[in-house]
Protein backbone atom coordinates (compact mmCIF):
# COMPACT_ATOMS: atom_id res chain seq x y z
CA UNK A 1 0.00 0.00 0.00
CA UNK A 2 1.35 3.46 -0.80
CA UNK A 3 2.55 5.74 1.99
CA UNK A 4 0.04 8.36 3.16
CA UNK A 5 1.96 11.12 1.40
CA UNK A 6 1.34 9.36 -1.89
CA UNK A 7 -2.42 8.86 -1.53
CA UNK A 8 -3.35 12.27 -2.91
CA UNK A 9 -2.89 12.99 -6.61
CA UNK A 10 -3.71 16.16 -8.51
CA UNK A 11 -7.43 15.64 -7.93
CA UNK A 12 -7.86 13.65 -4.74
CA UNK A 13 -7.34 9.90 -4.43
CA UNK A 14 -8.01 7.73 -7.47
CA UNK A 15 -7.36 4.22 -8.73
CA UNK A 16 -8.83 0.86 -9.69
CA UNK A 17 -11.56 -0.51 -7.44
CA UNK A 18 -10.31 -3.35 -5.27
CA UNK A 19 -6.67 -2.32 -5.56
CA UNK A 20 -5.19 -0.31 -2.66
CA UNK A 21 -6.07 2.33 -1.75
CA UNK A 22 -9.45 2.08 -3.54
CA UNK A 23 -10.84 -0.55 -1.15
CA UNK A 24 -13.71 -0.61 1.33
CA UNK A 25 -11.45 -0.96 4.36
CA UNK A 26 -9.35 2.02 3.31
CA UNK A 27 -12.46 4.14 2.75
CA UNK A 28 -13.68 3.27 6.25
CA UNK A 29 -10.37 4.48 7.66
CA UNK A 30 -10.33 7.52 5.35
CA UNK A 31 -13.75 8.66 6.55
CA UNK A 32 -12.61 8.19 10.13
CA UNK A 33 -9.38 10.09 9.45
CA UNK A 34 -11.28 13.09 8.14
CA UNK A 35 -13.55 12.91 11.16
CA UNK A 36 -10.54 12.91 13.47
CA UNK A 37 -9.08 15.97 11.71
CA UNK A 38 -12.40 17.76 12.25
CA UNK A 39 -12.64 16.64 15.90
CA UNK A 40 -11.68 20.06 17.27
CA UNK A 41 -14.40 21.78 15.24
CA UNK A 42 -17.35 22.92 17.39
CA UNK A 43 -20.40 20.64 16.93
CA UNK A 44 -22.30 19.86 14.92
CA UNK A 45 -19.39 18.58 12.83
CA UNK A 46 -20.88 17.94 9.41
CA UNK A 47 -19.61 16.44 6.14
CA UNK A 48 -21.64 16.34 2.93
CA UNK A 49 -21.20 13.11 0.97
CA UNK A 50 -22.15 12.56 -2.68
CA UNK A 51 -21.15 10.32 -5.58
CA UNK A 52 -21.41 9.69 -9.30
CA UNK A 53 -23.18 6.66 -10.80
CA UNK A 54 -20.48 3.94 -10.55
CA UNK A 55 -21.62 0.67 -8.99
CA UNK A 56 -18.75 0.83 -6.50
CA UNK A 57 -20.06 4.13 -5.19
CA UNK A 58 -22.59 2.35 -2.98
CA UNK A 59 -19.82 0.39 -1.26
CA UNK A 60 -17.61 3.39 -0.68
CA UNK A 61 -20.51 5.59 0.40
CA UNK A 62 -21.34 3.12 3.17
CA UNK A 63 -17.70 2.75 4.23
CA UNK A 64 -17.01 6.48 4.38
CA UNK A 65 -20.28 7.09 6.20
CA UNK A 66 -19.41 4.47 8.84
CA UNK A 67 -15.94 5.91 9.35
CA UNK A 68 -17.21 9.45 9.75
CA UNK A 69 -19.90 8.40 12.21
CA UNK A 70 -17.35 6.38 14.22
CA UNK A 71 -15.29 9.57 14.54
CA UNK A 72 -18.30 11.53 15.83
CA UNK A 73 -19.16 13.34 12.58
CA UNK A 74 -22.59 14.06 11.10
CA UNK A 75 -23.01 12.98 7.46
CA UNK A 76 -25.36 14.52 4.90
CA UNK A 77 -26.08 11.98 2.16
CA UNK A 78 -26.61 13.61 -1.23
CA UNK A 79 -26.74 10.57 -3.51
CA UNK A 80 -25.70 10.86 -7.17
CA UNK A 81 -24.84 14.53 -7.72
CA UNK A 82 -22.36 16.47 -9.88
CA UNK A 83 -19.08 17.34 -8.20
CA UNK A 84 -19.75 21.12 -8.34
CA UNK A 85 -23.15 20.57 -6.73
CA UNK A 86 -21.50 18.82 -3.79
CA UNK A 87 -19.02 21.68 -3.42
CA UNK A 88 -21.88 24.20 -3.48
CA UNK A 89 -24.05 22.19 -1.06
CA UNK A 90 -21.12 21.91 1.35
CA UNK A 91 -21.20 25.69 1.64
CA UNK A 92 -24.99 25.86 1.68
CA UNK A 93 -25.27 23.45 4.62
CA UNK A 94 -22.42 25.18 6.50
CA UNK A 95 -20.59 21.84 6.58
CA UNK A 96 -16.94 21.55 7.55
CA UNK A 97 -16.09 19.45 4.49
CA UNK A 98 -17.52 17.74 1.44
CA UNK A 99 -16.65 14.39 -0.14
CA UNK A 100 -17.24 13.33 -3.73
CA UNK A 101 -16.97 9.64 -4.61
CA UNK A 102 -15.97 9.74 -8.26
CA UNK A 103 -13.21 9.02 -10.76
CA UNK A 104 -14.50 11.83 -12.97
CA UNK A 105 -13.80 11.02 -16.64
CA UNK A 106 -12.18 7.62 -15.92
CA UNK A 107 -13.94 4.35 -16.89
CA UNK A 108 -16.16 2.55 -14.38
CA UNK A 109 -13.53 0.11 -12.95
CA UNK A 110 -11.87 3.17 -11.39
CA UNK A 111 -13.15 5.24 -8.52
CA UNK A 112 -11.82 7.88 -6.22
CA UNK A 113 -12.36 10.51 -3.58
CA UNK A 114 -12.32 14.30 -3.87
CA UNK A 115 -12.47 16.50 -0.79
CA UNK A 116 -13.83 20.02 -0.43
CA UNK A 117 -13.26 22.45 2.41
CA UNK A 118 -15.98 24.38 4.22
CA UNK A 119 -15.64 27.11 1.56
CA UNK A 120 -16.24 24.64 -1.29
CA UNK A 121 -12.63 24.72 -2.51
CA UNK A 122 -10.41 21.67 -2.99
CA UNK A 123 -8.51 20.83 0.20
CA UNK A 124 -5.12 22.46 0.50
CA UNK A 125 -1.89 20.52 1.03
CA UNK A 126 -1.87 21.19 4.78
CA UNK A 127 -5.30 19.64 5.28
CA UNK A 128 -4.38 16.67 3.10
CA UNK A 129 -1.28 16.15 5.23
CA UNK A 130 -3.40 16.12 8.39
CA UNK A 131 -5.69 13.46 6.91
CA UNK A 132 -2.66 11.42 5.79
CA UNK A 133 -1.21 11.63 9.32
CA UNK A 134 -4.51 10.51 10.86
CA UNK A 135 -4.52 7.47 8.56
CA UNK A 136 -1.40 6.29 10.42
CA UNK A 137 -3.24 6.30 13.75
CA UNK A 138 -5.13 3.28 15.14
CA UNK A 139 -8.85 3.25 14.41
CA UNK A 140 -10.91 3.98 17.52
CA UNK A 141 -14.65 4.62 17.79
CA UNK A 142 -15.92 7.46 19.95
CA UNK A 143 -18.28 6.69 22.81
CA UNK A 144 -21.95 5.83 22.08
CA UNK A 145 -23.12 9.26 23.12
CA UNK A 146 -20.63 10.94 20.78
CA UNK A 147 -21.36 8.98 17.61
CA UNK A 148 -22.28 10.96 14.54
CA UNK A 149 -25.48 10.45 12.59
CA UNK A 150 -26.49 10.37 8.94
CA UNK A 151 -29.33 12.21 7.23
CA UNK A 152 -30.41 12.14 3.60
CA UNK A 153 -30.86 15.44 1.77
CA UNK A 154 -34.00 14.69 -0.23
CA UNK A 155 -34.09 18.01 -2.08
CA UNK A 156 -30.42 18.12 -3.12
CA UNK A 157 -31.18 17.95 -6.86
CA UNK A 158 -33.83 20.64 -6.67
CA UNK A 159 -31.55 22.96 -4.75
CA UNK A 160 -28.77 22.59 -7.32
CA UNK A 161 -31.12 23.02 -10.29
CA UNK A 162 -32.36 26.32 -8.87
CA UNK A 163 -28.80 27.39 -8.18
CA UNK A 164 -27.81 26.76 -11.81
CA UNK A 165 -30.74 28.77 -13.15
CA UNK A 166 -30.01 31.60 -10.71
CA UNK A 167 -26.68 32.24 -12.49
CA UNK A 168 -28.62 33.65 -15.47
CA UNK A 169 -30.64 36.86 -15.81
CA UNK A 170 -34.15 36.29 -14.49
CA UNK A 171 -35.74 36.77 -17.93
CA UNK A 172 -33.32 34.55 -19.87
CA UNK A 173 -34.98 31.73 -21.82
CA UNK A 174 -33.87 28.97 -24.20
CA UNK A 175 -37.15 28.85 -26.12
CA UNK A 176 -36.59 27.95 -29.76
CA UNK A 177 -33.24 26.27 -29.04
CA UNK A 178 -32.89 22.60 -29.97
CA UNK A 179 -30.22 20.88 -27.90
CA UNK A 180 -28.72 17.42 -27.68
CA UNK A 181 -27.40 16.72 -24.17
CA UNK A 182 -24.94 13.92 -23.43
CA UNK A 183 -24.71 13.27 -19.70
CA UNK A 184 -22.16 10.43 -19.96
CA UNK A 185 -24.45 8.12 -17.93
CA UNK A 186 -22.99 10.06 -15.03
CA UNK A 187 -23.80 12.44 -12.22
CA UNK A 188 -25.65 15.01 -14.36
CA UNK A 189 -28.14 12.51 -15.79
CA UNK A 190 -31.01 13.90 -13.72
CA UNK A 191 -30.09 17.52 -13.01
CA UNK A 192 -28.83 18.74 -16.41
CA UNK A 193 -31.92 17.77 -18.46
CA UNK A 194 -34.16 19.45 -15.90
CA UNK A 195 -32.14 22.68 -15.93
CA UNK A 196 -32.27 23.06 -19.72
CA UNK A 197 -35.87 21.88 -20.02
CA UNK A 198 -37.08 24.32 -17.38
CA UNK A 199 -35.38 27.12 -19.31
CA UNK A 200 -37.44 26.19 -22.37
CA UNK A 201 -35.01 24.26 -24.61
CA UNK A 202 -36.16 21.40 -26.82
CA UNK A 203 -34.06 18.42 -25.75
CA UNK A 204 -32.78 15.19 -27.20
CA UNK A 205 -30.84 13.08 -24.70
CA UNK A 206 -27.84 10.77 -24.66
CA UNK A 207 -26.14 9.16 -21.69
CA UNK A 208 -29.03 9.42 -19.23
CA UNK A 209 -29.50 5.73 -18.39
CA UNK A 210 -26.69 4.82 -15.97
CA UNK A 211 -26.35 1.15 -15.01
CA UNK A 212 -23.28 1.50 -12.79
CA UNK A 213 -20.91 0.32 -15.50
CA UNK A 214 -21.56 2.49 -18.55
CA UNK A 215 -20.33 5.82 -17.17
CA UNK A 216 -18.08 7.60 -19.73
CA UNK A 217 -18.26 4.58 -22.06
CA UNK A 218 -18.49 5.81 -25.66
CA UNK A 219 -20.16 9.02 -24.52
CA UNK A 220 -19.73 12.26 -22.65
CA UNK A 221 -17.11 14.98 -22.80
CA UNK A 222 -14.25 12.54 -23.37
CA UNK A 223 -15.89 10.76 -26.34
CA UNK A 224 -18.16 13.09 -28.31
CA UNK A 225 -18.49 11.06 -31.54
CA UNK A 226 -22.05 9.90 -30.81
CA UNK A 227 -23.08 13.42 -29.83
CA UNK A 228 -21.59 14.88 -33.00
CA UNK A 229 -23.54 12.41 -35.15
CA UNK A 230 -26.78 12.99 -33.30
CA UNK A 231 -26.61 16.78 -33.51
CA UNK A 232 -26.28 16.58 -37.28
CA UNK A 233 -28.90 13.83 -37.68
CA UNK A 234 -31.50 15.74 -35.65
CA UNK A 235 -30.75 19.18 -37.04
CA UNK A 236 -30.05 20.54 -33.57
CA UNK A 237 -28.57 23.96 -32.98
CA UNK A 238 -26.00 22.65 -30.52
CA UNK A 239 -24.84 19.62 -28.58
CA UNK A 240 -23.51 19.72 -25.01
CA UNK A 241 -21.47 16.95 -23.38
CA UNK A 242 -20.61 16.55 -19.70
CA UNK A 243 -18.19 14.09 -18.15
CA UNK A 244 -18.98 11.49 -15.52
CA UNK A 245 -18.96 13.80 -12.52
CA UNK A 246 -20.22 16.92 -14.28
CA UNK A 247 -17.28 19.26 -13.80
CA UNK A 248 -16.35 19.32 -17.51
CA UNK A 249 -18.25 20.46 -20.59
CA UNK A 250 -17.68 20.38 -24.37
CA UNK A 251 -19.91 21.80 -27.13
CA UNK A 252 -20.75 20.62 -30.65
CA UNK A 253 -22.00 23.06 -33.29
CA UNK A 254 -24.82 22.43 -35.78
CA UNK A 255 -22.34 20.98 -38.31
CA UNK A 256 -21.06 18.45 -35.78
CA UNK A 257 -17.76 20.25 -35.09
CA UNK A 258 -16.35 20.13 -31.57
CA UNK A 259 -15.55 23.22 -29.49
CA UNK A 260 -13.28 22.47 -26.52
CA UNK A 261 -12.85 24.25 -23.22
CA UNK A 262 -10.53 26.89 -24.67
CA UNK A 263 -13.15 27.96 -27.20
CA UNK A 264 -15.91 27.97 -24.59
CA UNK A 265 -13.77 29.97 -22.19
CA UNK A 266 -13.13 32.49 -24.96
CA UNK A 267 -16.86 32.84 -25.70
CA UNK A 268 -17.68 33.52 -22.05
CA UNK A 269 -14.71 35.87 -21.66
CA UNK A 270 -15.63 37.95 -24.71
CA UNK A 271 -19.22 38.30 -23.53
CA UNK A 272 -18.11 39.47 -20.10
CA UNK A 273 -15.43 41.75 -21.51
CA UNK A 274 -18.03 43.46 -23.72
CA UNK A 275 -20.09 44.12 -20.61
CA UNK A 276 -17.08 45.48 -18.75
CA UNK A 277 -17.06 42.68 -16.21
CA UNK A 278 -13.79 40.88 -16.93
CA UNK A 279 -10.59 41.78 -15.07
CA UNK A 280 -8.55 38.94 -16.59
CA UNK A 281 -8.57 35.27 -17.53
CA UNK A 282 -6.75 32.23 -16.12
CA UNK A 283 -5.76 29.33 -18.35
CA UNK A 284 -3.10 26.64 -17.95
CA UNK A 285 0.03 25.39 -19.64
CA UNK A 286 -2.27 23.35 -21.90
CA UNK A 287 -4.25 26.37 -23.11
CA UNK A 288 -3.95 27.06 -26.83
CA UNK A 289 -1.67 29.89 -27.95
CA UNK A 290 -4.58 31.19 -29.97
CA UNK A 291 -6.60 31.82 -26.82
CA UNK A 292 -3.79 33.80 -25.22
CA UNK A 293 -3.28 35.82 -28.41
CA UNK A 294 -7.01 36.48 -28.86
CA UNK A 295 -7.31 37.72 -25.26
CA UNK A 296 -4.23 39.92 -25.64
CA UNK A 297 -5.67 41.44 -28.82
CA UNK A 298 -8.76 42.42 -26.82
CA UNK A 299 -6.67 43.96 -24.06
CA UNK A 300 -7.48 41.18 -21.56
CA UNK A 301 -4.78 39.91 -19.20
CA UNK A 302 -4.14 36.17 -19.61
CA UNK A 303 -2.42 34.16 -16.86
CA UNK A 304 -1.26 30.54 -17.18
CA UNK A 305 -1.57 28.39 -14.05
CA UNK A 306 -0.38 24.83 -13.53
CA UNK A 307 -2.60 22.14 -15.04
CA UNK A 308 -5.57 21.21 -12.84
CA UNK A 309 -8.64 23.12 -11.77
CA UNK A 310 -7.25 23.34 -8.22
CA UNK A 311 -4.39 25.47 -9.58
CA UNK A 312 -6.73 27.47 -11.82
CA UNK A 313 -8.92 28.26 -8.83
CA UNK A 314 -5.94 29.26 -6.68
CA UNK A 315 -4.65 31.60 -9.39
CA UNK A 316 -8.08 33.16 -9.80
CA UNK A 317 -8.28 33.85 -6.08
CA UNK A 318 -4.77 35.31 -5.99
CA UNK A 319 -5.31 37.57 -9.00
CA UNK A 320 -8.91 38.48 -8.22
CA UNK A 321 -10.13 37.07 -11.54
CA UNK A 322 -13.66 35.69 -11.89
CA UNK A 323 -13.12 33.33 -14.85
CA UNK A 324 -10.69 30.54 -15.63
CA UNK A 325 -10.50 27.09 -17.12
CA UNK A 326 -8.81 24.36 -19.11
CA UNK A 327 -9.09 22.87 -22.63
CA UNK A 328 -10.65 19.77 -21.06
CA UNK A 329 -13.73 21.84 -20.24
CA UNK A 330 -13.14 22.54 -16.55
CA UNK A 331 -14.46 26.11 -16.45
CA UNK A 332 -14.76 28.02 -13.18
CA UNK A 333 -17.14 30.95 -12.91
CA UNK A 334 -16.20 32.33 -9.50
CA UNK A 335 -19.48 34.15 -8.92
CA UNK A 336 -21.37 30.85 -9.25
CA UNK A 337 -19.04 28.30 -7.66
CA UNK A 338 -15.61 27.29 -6.49
CA UNK A 339 -14.80 24.49 -8.92
CA UNK A 340 -15.38 23.51 -12.53
CA UNK A 341 -19.11 23.27 -13.22
CA UNK A 342 -20.21 21.86 -16.58
CA UNK A 343 -23.84 22.94 -16.33
CA UNK A 344 -23.12 26.49 -15.13
CA UNK A 345 -20.41 26.94 -17.78
CA UNK A 346 -22.77 25.67 -20.49
CA UNK A 347 -25.41 28.18 -19.43
CA UNK A 348 -22.86 30.99 -19.60
CA UNK A 349 -21.88 29.94 -23.13
CA UNK A 350 -25.54 29.92 -24.17
CA UNK A 351 -26.05 33.36 -22.61
CA UNK A 352 -23.22 34.65 -24.83
CA UNK A 353 -24.49 32.84 -27.94
CA UNK A 354 -28.13 33.90 -27.69
CA UNK A 355 -27.59 37.28 -29.47
CA UNK A 356 -25.84 35.36 -32.28
CA UNK A 357 -28.81 33.03 -32.78
CA UNK A 358 -26.75 30.16 -31.32
CA UNK A 359 -24.05 30.46 -34.00
CA UNK A 360 -21.11 28.82 -32.25
CA UNK A 361 -18.44 29.01 -35.00
CA UNK A 362 -19.01 32.75 -35.37
CA UNK A 363 -18.01 33.24 -31.71
CA UNK A 364 -14.77 31.23 -31.63
CA UNK A 365 -11.11 32.14 -32.16
CA UNK A 366 -8.63 30.65 -34.69
CA UNK A 367 -6.50 28.17 -32.73
CA UNK A 368 -2.75 27.87 -33.19
CA UNK A 369 -1.39 24.47 -34.32
CA UNK A 370 -1.25 22.17 -31.32
CA UNK A 371 -0.70 18.43 -30.86
CA UNK A 372 -1.90 16.49 -27.83
CA UNK A 373 -0.80 12.89 -27.22
CA UNK A 374 -1.56 10.71 -24.19
CA UNK A 375 0.89 7.83 -23.82
CA UNK A 376 -0.38 4.93 -21.63
CA UNK A 377 2.22 3.69 -19.15
CA UNK A 378 2.28 0.69 -16.84
CA UNK A 379 1.91 2.69 -13.61
CA UNK A 380 1.20 6.21 -12.45
CA UNK A 381 4.23 8.47 -12.04
CA UNK A 382 4.82 11.46 -9.82
CA UNK A 383 7.67 12.83 -11.94
CA UNK A 384 9.41 12.17 -15.24
CA UNK A 385 13.13 11.62 -14.66
CA UNK A 386 14.28 9.30 -17.44
CA UNK A 387 17.45 10.70 -19.04
CA UNK A 388 16.48 9.74 -22.61
CA UNK A 389 13.05 11.35 -22.30
CA UNK A 390 14.51 14.52 -20.79
CA UNK A 391 17.10 14.68 -23.57
CA UNK A 392 14.38 14.33 -26.21
CA UNK A 393 12.37 17.04 -24.45
CA UNK A 394 15.36 19.38 -24.58
CA UNK A 395 15.83 18.67 -28.28
CA UNK A 396 12.16 19.43 -29.01
CA UNK A 397 12.43 22.74 -27.16
CA UNK A 398 15.46 23.62 -29.26
CA UNK A 399 13.65 22.75 -32.51
CA UNK A 400 10.64 24.86 -31.53
CA UNK A 401 12.86 27.73 -30.33
CA UNK A 402 10.84 30.84 -29.51
CA UNK A 403 8.06 29.90 -31.92
CA UNK A 404 6.41 27.30 -29.74
CA UNK A 405 6.18 25.51 -26.44
CA UNK A 406 6.06 21.96 -25.12
CA UNK A 407 4.53 20.48 -21.99
CA UNK A 408 5.37 16.98 -20.75
CA UNK A 409 3.77 15.74 -17.56
CA UNK A 410 2.48 12.59 -15.87
CA UNK A 411 -1.28 12.53 -15.40
CA UNK A 412 -2.37 12.93 -11.81
CA UNK A 413 -5.50 10.84 -12.38
CA UNK A 414 -4.55 8.05 -14.80
CA UNK A 415 -1.49 5.96 -15.78
CA UNK A 416 -0.62 8.27 -18.66
CA UNK A 417 2.05 10.71 -19.70
CA UNK A 418 0.53 13.73 -21.41
CA UNK A 419 2.36 15.52 -24.21
CA UNK A 420 1.40 18.92 -25.60
CA UNK A 421 3.34 20.68 -28.35
CA UNK A 422 2.27 24.03 -29.79
CA UNK A 423 3.75 26.38 -32.36
CA UNK A 424 3.23 28.21 -35.62
CA UNK A 425 4.33 25.40 -38.00
CA UNK A 426 1.81 22.52 -37.92
CA UNK A 427 4.19 20.02 -39.53
CA UNK A 428 6.91 20.80 -36.98
CA UNK A 429 4.43 20.62 -34.11
CA UNK A 430 3.18 17.17 -35.18
CA UNK A 431 6.69 15.82 -35.76
CA UNK A 432 7.99 17.07 -32.40
CA UNK A 433 5.02 15.56 -30.58
CA UNK A 434 5.45 12.22 -32.40
CA UNK A 435 9.18 12.09 -31.64
CA UNK A 436 8.65 12.84 -27.96
CA UNK A 437 5.83 10.29 -27.71
CA UNK A 438 8.01 7.61 -29.29
CA UNK A 439 10.73 8.14 -26.71
CA UNK A 440 8.21 8.13 -23.85
CA UNK A 441 6.74 4.84 -25.10
CA UNK A 442 10.16 3.27 -25.40
CA UNK A 443 11.12 4.19 -21.83
CA UNK A 444 7.86 4.02 -19.89
CA UNK A 445 5.19 2.00 -21.73
Distance CA 67, CA 199 (A): 41
Q: Say if residues 277 and 381 touch (Cβ distance below 8 Å).
A: no
Distance CA 45, CA 22 (A): 25
Q: Print the SS3 string covering the chain.
A: CCCHHHCCECCEEEEECCCCCCCHHHHHHHHHHHHHHCCCCCCCCEEEEEECCCCHHHHHHHHHHHHHHHCCCEEEEEEECCHHHHHHHHHHCCCCEEEEECCCCCCCCEEEEEEEECCCCECCHHHHHHHHHHHCCCCCCCCHHHCCCEEECCCHHHHHHHHHHHCCCCCCCCCCCEEEEECCCCCCCCHHHHHHHHCCCEEEEECCCCCCCCCCCCCCCCCCHHHHHHHHHHCCCEEEEECCCCCCEEEECCCCCEECHHHHHHHHHHHHHHCCCCCEEEEECCCCHHHHHHHHHCCCEEEEECCCHHHHHHHHHHHCCCEEECCCCCEEECCCCCCCCHHHHHHHHHHHHHHHCCCCHHHCCCCCCEEEEEEECCCCCCCCCCHHHHHHHHHHHHHHHHHEEEEEEECCCCCEEEEEEEECCHHHHHHHHHHHHHHHHHHHC
Q: 102 an active-site residue?
A: no
Catalytic residue among 3, 5, 102, 104: 104
Give the burial class of 407: count Cβ atoms within 10 A of its Cβ; 0-12 exposed, 13-18 middle, 19 or more buried: middle
Distance CA 255, CA 233 (A): 10
Write out the catalytic residue numbers. Answer: 104
Amino acid sequence: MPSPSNYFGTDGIRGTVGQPPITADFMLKLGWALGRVLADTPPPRRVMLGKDTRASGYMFESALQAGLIAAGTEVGLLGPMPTPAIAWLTRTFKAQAGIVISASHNPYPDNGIKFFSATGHKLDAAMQAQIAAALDQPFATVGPAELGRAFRVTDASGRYIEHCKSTLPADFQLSGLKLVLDCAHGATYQTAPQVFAELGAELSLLGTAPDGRNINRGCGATDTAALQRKVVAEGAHLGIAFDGDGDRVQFVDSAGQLADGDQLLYIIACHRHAQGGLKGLVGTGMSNFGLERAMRDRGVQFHRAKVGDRHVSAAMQKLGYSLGGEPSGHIICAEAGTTGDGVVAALQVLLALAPRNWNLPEATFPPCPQALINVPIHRRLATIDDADVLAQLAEVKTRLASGGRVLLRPSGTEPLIRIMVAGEDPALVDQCAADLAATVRARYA
